[in-house]
Every structure is written in structure tokens, then in C-alpha cells.
Structure 1
């Protein structure tokens, strides 16, 4: 049976998966910082600061790279790698 981890934000209990979806955060980033001991609002603040740096693609602004990858329907890991390497074939304004 799965060992589901839960966190509480503003009196609402979330599984890590639900939490990442509710706040549009990368699930792997949420899991990483949960394993490092971040809980509750500390986990929310840390993952937001890491994930959400703001990104503008052409004329559309995104709060996070994750949101941009979802909108453009590019797998998250591919999007991050191409963004880092400078091989993403879209007009970016960081």
C-alpha cells in the first residue's frame, strides 16, 4: 500500500500530489523539499520561490516555468532542459 504524505495549508489537508496541483507547483519539487523537512507554509514558500520565477513567452506572462510548459504542451523536463541550454524554439522574455 502507498505511503501517502499529507501537509496542511490554511486548515486544508492536501496530499503532496493535490498540493502541487492546487498551487500549480512541480510535484517533483514539492516532494524534494518535503523530504528535506519543509512542511506547511514553509513548504509552500520554498517551492514557490524555487519554481515560480515568472516567465514571458511572446506576449503571454506565466507565473512559473511549470505553467508555461503546461500551456505550451511541452513535457516539463524537456522545457526546463531546453530553457537552460537556450534551445527552446519560442520567443522568451525572462
Structure 2
């Protein structure tokens, strides 16, 4: 039998997958911080700060790193890795 994990926000109970979809968050990020012990509003705040931090590429602003990677047509994992290690050129002419 599956071992479901649940998050409660504003008296609504979500599975981790439902939670990530409802708040437009990365499921892997939600799962990571859940495993680290964050719950409820603390988990929501941390996952939002990681997943939805804004990004400026050339003169275009994106609300999330995922949106920027999709716009630039770069695979998400490649985009995140290059951003983290400083090899992503943020002055691209897209």
C-alpha cells in the first residue's frame, strides 16, 4: 500500500502532488522540503521562494525559472544546472 504524504493549507488537505499542482510548484522541490521537515505554510513559503523566484533574461522578466527555461527552449535540468554554476548567459537575445 502506498504511503501518501499530506499537507494542510487553510483547512484544505492536499497530497504532495495535489499541493504542487494547486500552487504551481515543482513537485521535486515540494518533496525535498517535506522530507527536510517543513510542513504547511512553511513548506509553501520555502517551495515558492525556490520555484518561483523571478528572473531577468535580456530585457524580459519571468516569474519563474521554469517559465524562462520554456521560453528559451532549454531543458529544465540544463537551465537550472547552468544557472546554479554560473554558466548561463542571461544576456541572451531571445
Length, aligned pairs only: 92
Change in Cα spacing, 1:23 to 1:69, as seen in structure 2 (3 Å) is: farther
Higher RCO structure (Cα 8 Å, ≥6 apart): 1
Q: What does 1:1-94 correspond to in 2, within 5 Å?
A: 1-88=1-88, 91=91
TM-score with structure 1 length normalisation? 0.74
Runs of 4+ in 1 over 6 A off after TM superposition: none
Q: Which runs of 5+ in 1 are unaligned?
A: none
Q: Which has the larger radius of gyration?
A: 2
Structure 1 Cα separation of the partners of residues 49 and 71 of structure 2: 20
TM-score with structure 2 length normalisation? 0.74
Q: Which runs of 5+ in 2 are unaligned?
A: none
